[in-house]
Amino acid sequence: MRLAVVGVTGLVGNVVCRTLEARNFPVTEFIPVASERSVGKTVTFRGQAYPVIGMAAAVEMRPDVAIFSAGGSTSLEWAPKFAAVGTTVIDNSSAWRMDATKKLIVPEVNANTLTAEDKIIANPNCSTIQMVVALTAIHQRYGIRRLVISTYQSFTGTGVKAVHQYEMEKTGQKITPEEMAYHYPIFENCLPQCDVFLDNDYTKEEMKLVHETRKILGDDTIGITATAVRVPVHGGHSEAVNVEFRQPFDIDEVRQLLAATPGLIVEDEPAKYRYPMPLFAKNRDEVFVGRIRRDESIENGLNLWIVADNLRKGAATNAIQIAEYLLQQELLPGTKVAVE
């Protein structure tokens, strides 16, 4: 199992490496890949130092799997080149998510649609991933008419530059405008902007929640509106999700459906102050849901609070779970040898 991590020196790339180790993914040859400016640097995987190589060299090595965390433009250029030599690419960027010829996969939801012919597989946006894990079973049972989403997203989702800005502000160090990932301070602040603004005055992050959710759930009729907010939190993303169903629902059955969902942990005991929080979701692979209650202002309305580590389940873990599924289903080159 020759596995390449593309963008290995970035924030998500590092988490991919640590998550591969934690989940004991069967790698026989580890190939760390990054841009030319990082070639020659070393990264550590399972206690061993590896020199970083460039894109072209990695393609020539024909890895079985390449997990991309290197940005949309890099993926658009290089993912097809890897796929052309037989590599299965699992891409963390937004490059392929809404491509009608590519599958957008959350393993707990739609991994069963994957085949050996899928050579470029899209990993959804972090906020979308955690939400659809919680929504799929109840959507299948009651049918979702509309979603109103408010997100509280960790600054770590913006990358290394945002982490640097936060740390500089937190410690009171001077920071230049060029060093800032945001237009304003993030420490002790909330920024109602995730990504750039579009012509409709929504941000790209907000519209990703709209389009990706519909694609994954397979229902373009769901009405969806979102407000995405960047918050000074390390541990992960939180979402307040208001659901309007197409038919009456039983709140006890909703709880049962959520509790039976793979990868989802229900934490919902208000009397005991038990509810999901990013502080406790950090470094976890699961999605957490709580504050489950009827919306008493509308018919067939439900409120949920959904939390997950955006760098784990929202990126690295989801990508690795896709690779694990492909391996288990013998949809990768050399799979039978690896399984035996």
Give the residue numbers marked as catalytic: 126, 237
d(CA 31, CA 128): 29
Amino acid at 296: E
User: 276-302 burial, b for 16+ CB within 10 Å, e for fewer?
Assistant: bbbeebbebbbbbbbebeeeeeeebbb
Q: CA dihedral in degrees (97, 101, 107, 111; nearest 10)?
A: 170
Quote the Cα angle for 236-240-242, to 5°.
150
d(CA 95, CA 100): 12
